Structures are given as structure tokens and as C-alpha cells.
A and B are shown apart, each in its own frame.
Chain A
Amino acid sequence: MTSAWLAWRTMRRYRARTALATIGVAIIGALLFDMLLLSRGLVTSFADLLNHSGYDVRVLNSQGFSLARATIPRASEVDAAIARLPEVASVARIRLEPATAMHHGADINVALISSTHSGTQVAWTLISGADLPADGASADRCPVLVASNLAARLELQPGAPLSLRAGVSGERSVLPAVACRVVGIGASPFSAGDEYQVLTTLSGMRAVRGGADDDTADVVLVASRPESGPAAAVHAIAARHPDLHVYSNEDVVEQFNQNGFAYFRQISVVLSSITIVFTVLLVATILTVSTNQRLGEIAALRALGIGRRRIATMLLWESVLIVGVGGLLALPLGGLVAVGLDGILKQMPGIPEALHFFVFEGRAVALHALLLSTTALVAALYPMWLTARLPIASTLRREVVG
């Protein structure tokens, strides 16, 4: 009879405690798995989101992504100069303004975004209607692509009129509402659940702002040529515009990793560590108490000629079976818990719908398996040591005869 078979027989004999210990490992293991998913989830998801936009370089007029708004002056000149660089494939200018959408008596605050490019070229997904025309390619004074949540709230269809009034921060005057036309309904990956976005052309933005055009942009998006790569494009743009701040997607993700994501990375490290220590302690306690209860039985097996090593291996197998089965159950359970926790964290204001805190990665599964394997081994060490030094005769006398 092998050690593994002995362990299996023992666990079948003590079904209730084995099942409960396995359930305990499964639940705590699910939490560990979730913390491993959280440790890189937001950064991975954020990187996916940035890469999905089709642009790999961002040009700003402020260091990092500060809360204070600093627009790029003479943006059309900057745009043209960057577009002429041999490392650059295409350039899109983006400008944002707060605005109010008015439709059938309802007033809703929206984020009005203007782009030199069509909606699909700046990562919007068209749901119905037509795409936003590129700036200057349409006779329409104010064509707009509205986000699906706004379209649902105002019951907008492609072709419907939509009045927009700019809410220019810091100015007391109220600009008149401008009649725009909904050309299509779409979805932006950068849109937060609690935010209504409207995409228009630069001409549309100018119209909404009462004809004012200060030729500024909040960000200039740049797609590098594949043969050059983003690093070369960043270098070339920074050399051409030393007064601006140029970041590749990798730089943005790294900055996000260092600042915005630090809290979740650390809570993930802290909770993973606590979870592992907790699991080791509990599995070790259960195995030790269980071994103490079976000392007479183990001494009898030793007296029958079963060696120390085989008994110790049996205890290791018990630990492996409890932690292994619990660890396997932890994966689907962790997936379910991650969906719930992700839903809670996404209630934070300003989090884009497409951003996730928990992202499944093969690396997390491998790390989860490694950590739990170590847990099984460490948890079995003390009971293995207990049985290895067990005196057969005195134990039998005490446990069986006594």
C-alpha cells in the first residue's frame, strides 16, 4: 500500500473534517487567487485600453496626468509639425469641454470631446448610424456621435437633433445652445459608467463654443510608424517640442503603476501574504490535531513494519490532497468572487467601463499553484516531524493499552 493510498484511505475515513478543511482552503485560496489577479490586473487592463486606442504616444502640456488642466497652445501647428516627422504615422488632436445636452426639456451634463479624426479612428465603437466625419469633411455644422448611455437616457436615434451648450469653466457668461445632429451612437472604451460622452469634430466644438477657437488641445495622440516604434517617435517629438511632455503608452502605464495603482498593488501583496500565512497555520493545525488523535494508529502501523518515511510521506500526501483539491476549487470560486469584487471597485467615480481591476493571467494561476504547493509542504512539516520521532512501544502502551 503506497503512502498516497494510505492518505486517501485516511481522508475517506474522516470525511467531514477533510471536506471542511478543503472548503476552507478553497475559500481562502479563492481570496489568494483574487489578490494575485489584482496585483497586476488594473495595470494590464489599463495597458490594453491604451493600446486599443491605436495610438502609442501621447503629447501633453503638463508633466504626467495632473488634475490641473494645461492645454497645448497653437495645437494645429504642433499637430502639423509632429505629422511631418518621419517616425510618425498619424496624429489626432483631442479637446475636451464640459457641456450641457438638452433634449425634450431634459438637461444633462456631458463631456464634449472634439477630435480631428472620425470616431472609429479614436477608438469609439459604432453601434448604430454613421461614424463621425473627419474634421472638415462634412458640411454639417455640428455633427455628434453620442455614447449609448446618453442615447438611451434621452431616447436619441441617429438623425435626431441634440442641443448642446458649452459650460466653459471659470466664465460667467452663458453661451447659447447650439443645435447639433446625432449622426451615430457609439461607445468609447474610456467612458466611465457615470459619465455621458459626446464626440464631435473641431468645427462642431467651435460652434458649441460660440465660434471661439483658441487653437488648443488637451492631448495630441500620435501613432508611430511600425518600423520606428514608439520610443523613436517619443524621442523625435521631444526633440522637436522640448516645451511639451511626450509619453509612450509604456511610460503612461509605468507612471500609473507607480502612482495611481500603488494602493491596489500593496493591498494585494499584504493580503496575499496574510492569506498564505493563515492557510499554512490552519492546515498545519488541522493536520497536527488530526495526527495527535491518530498517534496510536500511526504507532500500530509503524509496529507492523511501515517505515518512518512512508508515514511521513502519507502525512505530506494528506496535506497535498487537502490543499491541492482546495486550490483547484479555488480557481472557479476565485473567478466568481473576482467578478463581484470587480463590480464593487468599478463603482468608483471616473473608472472607464472597459477597465478591470481583476484580469485573468496564466502567470497568476502558476503563482497560485506555486504558493499553494509551498503551503502544503510547509503545513505538513511539523506533523511529519511529530510522527518521525514517535516512540512506538510507549505510544502503543499509552494509546492502546492505557
Chain B
Amino acid sequence: MLLSRQLAARAHINVGDEVRLATDSAGTTGRLFRVVGIYEPTPDPMRFTALRLETRLHLADLANLAETPGDVAGADTADAINVRLVTPADARPFADDVRARMPGLDVRPTSRPPEGDPFVVLDRFHLAISLVTVAGSTAFLLALMIIRAEERRETVGAMRLLGISRRSLLVEVAIEGLLIAAAGALFGALLAFAAESLVNRIFQSRYDTTLVFLRVTRSIALRSFALAVPLGVAAGIAASWTLLRRDILSLVGR
């Protein structure tokens, strides 16, 4: 038989050891099995908090072990049958076909429809939290931009006196906002990328799993850029516009 890494570590069992398995806690109906290997259980996000104390046997061995005297049908039962299709895209019609031929069986494709998938719901939840964070950050960003614009009131006044147009100044502010927002977004993406390994290591150690909890993908980084850069530019222009619309004399304090 095979043992999960977690069970082998907890029970101090090595490859080659013999282990008695029984279906009752007293071990009276047990049989001896030899451990031929230790495996890492496939990470399952639905069960990441569960301690994976598992063994794998051949079906016939398990049936013999669980056999009840006199229960002939019991030896030929299975909890589930996994089917790999030649054409995976046919999973749904295949399931419908089997269900029609064998009413009473629960037949379903392994891929979840979006409406029943808890991870789609979690994705929506995270998106909603991100939107709230973006709204808060935008307010802070706008406040900072207004302070910066106020700081440059006299400089802007002097530039206007020298004949530089509002339009040119706005373009300058937009480019400046673009550069700052792009640098900020890049820094944020790099910070997330650096935190990825740390966060994964903490959670993997906490739950003794190889499941990946956090992954900064290119599409996520691009989405952050797509959101952060226009917001940064818009905040810069909005804050500067309050200054640029004033007449030149008020800008220079006359």
C-alpha cells in the first residue's frame, strides 16, 4: 500500500514497513500490508484545512478488508467510478447519457459549472474588496495631489506669466501623473510578487500542504496597471485643474 506523507510522518512509518489495517478500532479484522511508497496527496482547495492522513490500496484489497461475512454484493461495490473520456468536451452529454441509462446514479462532470463553484464566488468577493480598496486609495491619492498642486501654486503662476498655456501645463501634469502612477503600479506588482513566496510558504507550512494560495499572474499585474495608471493620471489632472482654472494674478498672490 501507499501512505500519504503526512500519515507516514505522524505514524513514523517508512517504505518497507509492515502495517496492520483494520476496519474496527480493536484491529481484530485486520490484515498486514507492506508500505511500498509514500506519496504527496494532490492538493485540494476544498479540503486544505483537513489533515491528509490517507492510504491507497488496490480496490480488491480494500474490498477484502471491508468485506462483511454473508454480504456477497458488498464486496463488489464502489463509492465512485472516475471516467476519463476520449473527448473531454463531451463530459456533459456523456453524463446525461449514463444517467438516462442508469437512473438513480449520480453522474456529473468533474468541471464545476460557474453557478455552483465556490471559487467563482470567492473571486467575486475578492474583486469587491479590491474595488473598495481602490475607491479609498483614490480619495487619498486625490488629497495628496491637491496638496502637491497647492505647493506648486507660485511656480505655476510664474510659468503662466512666462506664456506657457494651460493646455501645456495640463499635458505636463498628465505625463507626470502617468509616470508616478506607472512607477507606483510597478512597485505594487513587485511587492506582491515578492510577497507571493512568503505568503505561500506561511500558509503551506500552516496547513501542511503543497497548495498554492497566492499567485501573481501576468493578467493580474496587467489589470492592476490598467486600473492604477488611468486613476493616477485622472487624479493628477483633477487636482491641477483647480489651480489652472484660476487667473494668473491670484496664482502669484496679487
Contact = CB atoms under 8 A, between A and B. Distances in A.
Interface string A47-80: 0000000000000000000001000000000000
Contact of A31 (B106, B121, B136): B136
B104 A172 contact: yes
A23 B124 CA distance: 24
B129 A31 contact: yes
A20 B148 CA distance: 14
A337 B136 CA distance: 13
B216 interface: no
Interface string B145-184: 0111011000000000000000000000000000000000
A25 B135 CA distance: 11
Contacts of A172: 102-105
Interface of B is mostly: helix
Interface stretch (A179-187, A219-227, A258-266, A381-389): A258-266
A88 B235 CA distance: 67
Given A344-B121, A344-B125, A286 B144 contact: yes
Nearest to A20: B143
Contacts of A289: 144, 147-148, 151
Interface in A139-177: 167-174
B140 A286 contact: yes
B103 A21 contact: no
B104 A168 contact: yes
A24 B50 contact: no
The number of chain B residues touching the other chain, given as a range, is: 20 to 34
B143 A21 contact: yes
A266 B206 CA distance: 11
A24 B139 contact: yes
A173 B49 contact: no
A276 interface: no
A252 B143 CA distance: 48
Contacts of B137: 24, 28, 278, 282
Contact of B128 (A21, A266, A285, A340): A340
A161 B118 CA distance: 36
The number of chain A residues touching the other chain, given as a range, is: 35 or more
B212 to A, nearest CB: 14
Nearest to A345: B125
A299 to B, nearest CB: 17
A340 B121 CA distance: 13
A16 interface: yes
A348 B118 contact: yes
A379 to B, nearest CB: 12
A17 interface: yes
A27 interface: yes
A337 B135 CA distance: 12
B129 A271 contact: yes
Contact of B132 (A31, A170, A266): A31
B135 A345 contact: no
Interface of A is mostly: helix
A282 B144 CA distance: 9
A266 B124 CA distance: 18
A24 B106 CA distance: 51
Contacts of A337: 132
B106 A285 contact: no
Nearest to B106: A169
Contacts of B104: 167-174
A26 B135 CA distance: 10
Contacts of A347: 121, 124
Given A289-B144, A293-B150, 11 more contacts: A16-B242, A20-B142, A31-B132, A167-B104, A170-B105, A174-B103, A289-B147, A289-B151, A290-B147, A341-B128, A349-B116
A278 B104 CA distance: 55
B103 A344 contact: no
A381 B77 CA distance: 70
A79 B236 CA distance: 72
A331 interface: no
Interface in A88-117: none
7 contacts: A17-B143, A27-B135, A170-B104, A258-B49, A259-B50, A345-B121, A348-B118
B50 A285 contact: no
B103 to A, nearest CB: 5
A21 B140 contact: yes
Given A20-B142, A20-B143, A172-B105, A293 B151 contact: yes
Contact of B133 (A23, A31, A170, A293): A31
Contacts of B242: 16
A344 B121 CA distance: 7
